[in-house]
Chain A
Amino acid sequence: MPQQERQKQSKAITRTTVKEPRKHRVIVLNDDFTTFEFVIEIMMTVFGKTYAQAEEIAETTHVQQKALVGIYSLDMARSKVAKATALARAENFPLGFEIEPEE
């Protein structure tokens, strides 16, 4: 039946145009004001890292000016970054993040 074919066609079309959602990388940036301890705390509470992992991230940021925090869905990435940023601003830290899609 023509209607069914049309539907299948649109399904096919939809299927090819719908991409899998991309994951995104969250990157933390270094600055001269945010303290080491604060970064560690943020990593643990917002991004669920262990102390060891958090310390390593803080180190890397300090040395290399930026570090990879983790890979999340876009929504998660944005939400976590927003949360972390808000916490930082509350302490008057200019802590910054970047979100990049994984290609």
Chain B
Amino acid sequence: MEINQTAQVTNAVVEAYGIATEKRHEFLTPEHLLAGYLKDRDFWDVFERCGDAQELENSLYAYLNSLDSVPEDQELAIDFSEQTKELFQTAGEAAMAAMAKTVQTHHIIYAYFHLEDSNARFHLENALDTSIPDFLNSLLRNSSENGDSEDNTPQDRWLRYFTSPDTDINLVGRKEEIGKIFRVLCRKTKSNVLLVGGRGVGKTAIVRAFAKTLESATPGSRQKRELPSKLQESVILELNVSTLLNGTQYRGDLEGRVQEIMNAVSEEGDMIIYVDELRSLGGMNKSDDGSKDILSLMIPYLKSGKVKFIISATPEDVKKLSSNDQYGVLSLFRQIDIEEPSDEEAQKILEGMIPSLAGYHGVKYMKGTAAHAVAMSRRYMADRCLPDKAADLLDEAGAYAESLKEPKVTNTLIDKALADICRIDVQAADEEVKDDLYNMEKRLGQKIFGQEKAIRQLSEAILMSKAGLLDSGKTVGNFLFVGPTGVGKTELSKALAQQLHVPLHRFDMSEYSEKHSVAKLIGSPAGYVGYDDGGILTDAIRRNPHCVLLLDEIEKAHEDIYNLLLQVMDYAVITDNKGRKVDFRNVVVIMTSNAGARYAHKASVGFHGKADAGAAMAKEVKSVFAPEFINRLTSVVVFNDLDEKMAGLILDDKIKKLQERLYARKIRLEITPEAYERLLKEGFSPEYGAREIERVLNSRLTPLLMREILFGKRKENFTAKVAADSEGLKIDTARP
């Protein structure tokens, strides 16, 4: 039999099968099928109007329970019984005779009355009060209301009318884009639209608005007059790809379905098929096993112009498709780029969304929250698109308010939502910022000793950037810290990051001294291992666009890294391996180097003095780094050698930290002046800087304490007096 059957028929068969399975019957008989029908709410209702459905059910089950069951140890294989086959045969003939396209329930029931010596027929007739023709008539009338209609064909299972809820349609602007869409759809051939734009930029919204325009184009209305004549009768259908794929198991199933749909839709005419994601149609991977993806199956229809398509995609998807495009599918579309809306437009869009958000969360959105959301999301959520990211903020803020049982959504709540989504402490960053900036120099000086000039240079540059006086297309600042080891270059960067309340991303350039290291930072090219992992640097900056980037020992990096840095320092942007641009405009770039360090030391020892040391160091720096590199630096910050005064300060600081740690165990540390001098003398080394002091402490002082704490008479709660003697230091424990 070539014709199809309706869903109601199929469902009844499925139910019947279930009953037979449950009772372990080897044949699916007309009695099973009728019992299956009775499980359908609609069928039951129709039957009730014509007879006694319960009586029928009872007698059917009485009969079914009297049938032999296949024993448990035997395999159960259920076949249609002979009369069931007869049933379908008769039904099919009846349908064909009636010129129906599908076999419907009333055809099947009609066939029951032609069965010979059938229990099903017998019970059916008994339970009916009305005449048979009346019953069949009821079924027929009921079919068009209740899903046994002919329209419930497979095509309509996979395509849905693409309508939109009346609210939420708030298309601000985009008039140009809609105009373009009209024009493309009115073309004679290749009248297919490919909407290209980042996620959340509003592609689906545009299609919804378009659908609404078509819907509301009732005769004589303004919308109808605005529509081009070719589109007046058009209807948008959405293709549900997952249902389309569902159930296809054999080769050719998918092709068959696509053909069915396309043919049916072409015949109807004036249909526009909308697919939400280009990716779902396949075409992304090169397939060499001959199996076609949906997109290539649609090619002949894309070309013909009888069916129009609108498909949405992201730029990355389009790029991927074009590199895999064996059949030239992309040329059959007209690409329309959908950009992010401007801030004003985004604000208007959000203001349109606010009523429904407010209603959903049961809160009220204060004036200005829309603008604030737009500004915040633009600043902190660089890797997503407006208006979606701002809408996200508003939604989350609303949920926040709802959970806190607050009636109003304020900017503060929006900040909280942002902090949640982006892991950025906006409040801390914003509120304390002025105070922090003012005191930044002072506070930095409290952490790093003896580098006043460096700190001042750094602070000034940062403040200038914050005041907006610098070129906005560049990073916050590019700094090269030079100086001997252990004087506080890395420490200063850490302290700066803390002051600015941003994270510190540290990269040790000695790990990136090989040619392939660039791939580690920005990601491997397509086709190479690790393509999907992305680059460490680009990912870090993308996630936290406000940060301090510290590149230690920059002279050890491979020259390809330099070239990368040149671009960062000048244009504040890097393109990663996937082609995405990463924004460095809010990054403070700090590079450290030991080049020229030896001059600092030499100069202070020799007789030229500090001024010449600076010149000598600058000369060395110039010789190590290329001029175009130095040119792009905001400043070269020279770190002073460690002198005695600085060493003293550092020693004080470290002892203080030690004392704090000991305080937790109720141990007091006292150091005699002689011991202090001893430590200072041993620890002070211009060559090795502050680290030497740490080492001296760890080798002289700390071991003594350790012994006392672990093995001494008292484990805690005592005063340790450290004194110097002829050999080294000794420790005296006394009562508290």
Contacts and interface: CB of A to CB of B under 8 A. Distances in A.
Interface of A: 7, 10-11, 14-15, 18-22, 24, 45, 48, 73-76, 78-79, 82-83, 101
B118 A82 contact: no
A75 B83 contact: yes
B567 interface: no
A21 B121 contact: yes
Interface stretch (B124-132, B300-308, B480-488): B124-132
B122 interface: yes
Given A48-B68, A78-B83, A73 B126 contact: no
Given A79-B27, A79-B82, A82-B82, A74 B128 contact: no
A8 to B, nearest CB: 9
B29 interface: yes
Contact of B129 (A7, A22, A73): A7
A14 B67 CA distance: 27
Interface in B129-170: 129-132
Contacts of A79: 27, 29, 79, 81-83
Given A11-B129, A74-B116, A18 B122 contact: yes
Contacts of A19: 122
8 contacts: A7-B131, A14-B125, A14-B131, A18-B126, A75-B29, A78-B82, A78-B83, A79-B27
Nearest to B67: A76
Contacts of B128: 14
Given A48-B68, A75-B30, A79-B82, A24 B117 contact: yes
A76 B68 CA distance: 10
Nearest to B80: A79
B575 interface: no
Nearest to B28: A79
Pairs of residues from A and B, 9 with the lowest C-beta to C-beta distance, nearest first: A78-B82, A74-B117, A75-B83, A79-B81, A21-B117, A18-B125, A79-B82, A79-B27, A10-B131
B182 to A, nearest CB: 60
B296 interface: no
Contacts of A75: 27, 29-30, 81-84, 117-119
Contact of A7 (B116, B119, B130): B130
Contacts of B27: 75-76, 79
Contacts of B126: 15, 18
Interface of B: 26-27, 29-30, 67-68, 74, 79, 81-84, 116-119, 121-122, 125-126, 128-132
B69 to A, nearest CB: 9
B119 A21 contact: yes
Contacts of A15: 126
A72 B392 CA distance: 69
Given A20-B122, A79-B81, 5 more contacts: A18-B126, A21-B118, A22-B117, A79-B29, A82-B82
A21 B124 CA distance: 12
Contacts of A18: 121-122, 125-126
A101 to B, nearest CB: 7
Contacts of B83: 74-75, 78-79
A11 B51 CA distance: 11
B122 A83 contact: no
Contacts of B79: 79, 83
A75 B126 CA distance: 19
A76 B125 contact: no
A35 B122 CA distance: 40
A24 B118 CA distance: 11
Nearest to A11: B129
Contacts of B82: 75, 78-79, 82
Most chain B beta-carbon contacts within 10 A, residue among A74, A75, A83:
A75
A83 B121 CA distance: 23
Contacts of A83: 26, 79
Contacts of A22: 117
Nearest to A73: B119
Nearest to B128: A14
A22 B130 CA distance: 25
Nearest to B132: A14
Nearest to A21: B117
B197 to A, nearest CB: 61
Nearest to A10: B131
A73 B118 CA distance: 8
A79 B74 CA distance: 19
Contacts of B121: 18, 21
A71 B87 CA distance: 23
Nearest to B125: A18
Nearest to A23: B117
B125 to A, nearest CB: 5
A22 B128 CA distance: 21
Contacts of B26: 83
A82 B81 CA distance: 9
Contacts of B81: 75-76, 78-79
A83 B27 CA distance: 10
A21 B122 contact: yes
Contacts of A82: 82
Contacts of A101: 117
A15 B84 CA distance: 24
A26 to B, nearest CB: 13
B249 to A, nearest CB: 26
Nearest to B63: A73
Contacts of A10: 130-131
A20 B63 CA distance: 13
A54 B181 CA distance: 77
A74 B74 CA distance: 25
A73 to B, nearest CB: 6
A55 B183 CA distance: 83
A102 B348 CA distance: 84
Nearest to A81: B82
A87 B96 CA distance: 34
